[in-house]
Amino acid sequence: MNEFVKVATVEEIPPGQGRRVDVDGYRIALFNVGGTFYAVDDTCTHEEASLAEGPVSGEIVACPKHGSRFHLPTGRVLSLPAVRPVNTYEVKVEGSDVLVLPQPRKGVGMPHKVR
């Protein structure tokens, strides 16, 4: 059974920023949205690009390569050219530590309607 793994401290990821973390074979992008942390697959579902390097606007990150936007709480893709959602991961904060459960949430991976 997987367990939460410490991947960063709160101070290392200021609000509005992301960082790539590698946990248990998963390449995960971790974001701080106004003090709430979200984790999604780091690799864009369109081509090879690191979402952790994309600009964050509220709960949305834009892929740095072609600009597809992803909703961080759900992984939904909000704009083309990507059409598939990214997996999301559970995150929790304990003290100043940020922990991720290295196990994609169930129910993701199905195509979502593109707006």
Nearer to ligand FES, 49 or 91 (CB): 49
Burial class (CB in 10 A: 0-12, 13-18, 19+), 64: middle
Residue count at the site for ligand FES (CB under 6 A)? 10
Q: How far is CA 22 from CA 40, 42, 71, 111, in A?
A: 12, 9, 21, 25
Residue 4: CB minimum distance to ligand FES, A: 28
Provide the Cα torsion 21, 45, 91, 112; round to 10°. Answer: 180
Coil vs helix vs strand at 13:
coil
The least CB distance from residue 114 to ligand FES, in Å, is 12
Site string for ligand FES, 43-62 (x = CB under 6 A): -x-xx-x-------------
From 20-28, 64-72, 88-96, 98-106, span contacting ligand FES (CB under 6 A): 64-72
The residues of the shown chain that bind ligand FES, judged by CB under 6 A, are 44, 46-47, 49, 63, 65-66, 68, 81-82
